[in-house]
Amino acid sequence: MLKLFGQKTAPSTGSKILWLDLGDLGDLVHPNGPHEQWQDHGLGLLRTILHQNGVITDLFSTRQCTSWAEVKQKLAGYEMLIMNVRSYTFPVAYRSARLFKEVNPNGLILTGGMHATVALDEMTAIEEFDRICQGPGENIIVDLVKDPKSFPRVIVGAGARSMADWPMIDRTLWPKPANRKLAKKFNWPLEPECGWGPPAVATLLTSRVCPWQCVFCNENSYIPNMGRRPVELVIDELNFLDRQYGPLGSFVIHDSMFFQNPSWLEEWLEKYPRKANKVWPYWAAGRADTVRQWPELFEALVRETRWDTVSIGFESGSDQVLRILNKECSEEDNYFTIDLLTRIGDDMEREGKRPPVFWSNIMLGIPGETREDAFKTMRMVKYTKRILPSISFYAPYPGSALGNQLIAEGKSRMTKENYHRFPDDEKVKGIDYQFYRDLLGGKYDTEVNHGLAQIRQERRDYMRALAKA
Ligand code: B12
Ligand code: SF4
């Protein structure tokens, strides 16, 4: 069997089954930013389950390669290829599948992941994909990999009822950084610092589904409901990672919506500061309306559990747009949340503590948004005292209600060759992107600054805050 592994990839286990981690070429060699280096929990979970059941797989990542020729070389000699395909990795997945079949004409390709659930037609159109699993895979992956031929081409997956049933991910099954300089600061199998908290960083999930129905997202329409991971298991995992690979510096809770389910949050508030090896600061997401609904709980979490980086999907500073998005939050909810965290931060600063900061998700270029709406949004961003803005041009993802509608109307510019490559990609037809670039560049600062206190009128480089979306 021909296997050409450079030092960049994990040594071969001798297995003829390869799990290919997907992402843009070079992201684990010379990454563009920290988020490109984060690890894939779907891959981590399913590979852990496979290995615990005696099904050993090899691994490498397209992110560890800098050319397609290198990817092709590394694919040679395998009998089976497995991939977790999300919409944003679909272009890389199908290109890899073609290369795999070129070098292993009799090889079999198993795919699963979010894109199979939300855009089955695009997946079935790729004839190289021999099996396509929709939905969760934890209770099907072992049987499927052991005997793929006993399954039809399109399969509905089976998941756990609760995240309590998930094994702890074996993080050594994740890809390594493929460059010595990067490896030094990566902290593998933990993850690198991204500006939210000290290294080493661990990413984890405590919940999978958000019950809201924002039209640009509404993942609960395609991710089956499941029980949240028990607080004790989350703390045990953090303590284990700290002991085994640490010292841990901070962590990122990747949940789409951490600030939900008050009884879980109250238990977290009570146990995390007491039972964790150290009260590490963390990043986690919430919504402005729930902060307004449970302000005491929010404040206690920020103060006592070191929820230092509070991600809120503000999205827009205009009620008109928030209604288009079915966000079920109002301008008033947004300003309530901003004022509350500012007050907490001012207090903590007076006490000599590090004040919490917002990771503020903002969208521009939403169909139906007027210029005045966009000015209001940028005004809200500038009004926020302690903010890491994450601004993106709205992207019509399949699976979301608005995404599906725009795709059906032929208005999406996201093609299977280019789901999203660069932050300022133009994603929807009929949107005046030049206006938005000018807005971020400062051309409309007079309009944006209208009514803002002098101190808030200072501008930052908002073009740099523009994120891939
Ligand atoms: C963590 C996360 C990220 C991380 C990703 C890190 C990484 N390397 O993977 C970061 C922060 C970088 C990220 C960024 C983005 N993300 Co993101 N992200 C998530 C999030 C919150 C969790 C993903 C996860 O780990 N899930 C848990 C694991 C266990 O699930 P899973 O990977 O789907 O795997 C399961 C199944 O799919 C299946 N399965 C998977 N593979 C296979 C293979 C086989 C053979 C089988 C049988 C089954 C199977 O079994 C697994 C276990 O059940 C999801 C939302 C969510 N709740 O899932 C969004 C989500 C995946 N992201 C999304 C998007 C759009 C993005 C962004 C474009 C911007 C944005 N809006 O957030 C960027 C683009 C990133 C890029 N690099 O280009 C969308 C994807 C929509 C789509 N149609 O694919 C989601 C669904 C959120 C949303 N509703 O908008 N993201
Ligand atoms: S955008 Fe946020 S609040 Fe809305 S459905 Fe998605 S995860 Fe939930």
Residue whose C-alpha is closest to residue 139's, from 224, 222, 60: 224
Query: Among the atoms of ligand 1, which is closest to the Cα of residue 155?
Result: 47
CA of 399 to the centre of ligand 1 (A): 12
Residue with tokens 């009799």: 106
**How many Å apart are CA 61 and CA 174, to the nearest integer?**
9
Q: If you take atom 39 of ligand 1, which residue's CA is the nearest one?
A: 113
Q: Which token pair is 352?
A: 């000599």
Residue whose C-alpha is closest to residue 284's, from 272, 394, 244, 319: 272
Could you say which ligand is closest to the alpha carbon of residue 329?
2
pLDDT (0 to 100) of residue 10: 57
Q: Where are the alpha helices (DSSP H) in 40-137?
A: 41-52, 68-75, 90-103, 114-118, 120-124
Q: Going from the N-terminus, what domains does the chain have, and what CATH number goes with each?
A: 17-156 (3.40.50.280), 193-457 (3.80.30.20)
Q: If you take atom 6 of ligand 2, which residue's CA is the nearest one?
A: 217
Could you say which ligand is closest to the alpha carbon of residue 260?
2
Residue 441's alpha-carbon distances to 175, 219, 382, in angstroms, are 38, 33, 14
Could you say which ligand is closest to the alpha carbon of residue 207?
1
Query: Who contacts 349 (Cβ-Cβ below 8 Å, separation ≥6)?
Result: 355
**C-alpha angle 461-201-52 in degrees, rounded to nearest 5:** 135
Residues of the chain falling short of pLDDT 70: 1-11, 420-421
Task: Please choose from 46, 161, 171, 225 the residue to mutate so as to test ligand 1's pocket, defined by most ligand atoms within 8 A of CB.
Answer: 46
State the pairing for strand pair 154-156/131-134. Answer: parallel
Q: Which token pair is 282?
A: 């963390």
pLDDT (0 to 100) of residue 11: 59
CA of 73 to the centre of ligand 1 (A): 27
Q: Reduce the DSSP state of residue 229 to 3 states and report it.
A: coil
Q: Ligand 1 pocket by C-beta < 6 Å: which residues?
A: 35-36, 38-42, 45-46, 82, 84, 86-88, 110-115, 118, 133, 136-138, 140-141, 144, 157, 159, 205, 208, 217, 219, 223, 254, 256, 397-399, 420, 468-469
pLDDT (0 to 100) of residue 422: 75
Q: How many CB atoms lie within 10 A of CB 155?
A: 19
Distance, C-alpha 33 to centroid of its chain: 14
In this predicted model, what pLDDT tens digit does every residue of 295-307 receive, in sequence order? 999 999 999 999 9
In this predicted model, what pLDDT tens digit does every residue of 227-284 receive, in sequence order? 999 999 999 999 999 999 999 999 999 999 999 999 999 999 999 999 999 999 999 9
Q: If you take atom 10 of ligand 1, which residue's CA is the nearest one?
A: 35
Residue whose C-alpha is closest to residue 293's, from 328, 318, 320, 321: 328
Q: Which token pair is 402?
A: 């608005």
State the pairing for strand pair 80-84/154-156. Answer: unpaired
Give the chain's count of helices (H) and strands (E): 17, 12
**How many Å apart are CA 207 and CA 393, to the nearest integer?**
27
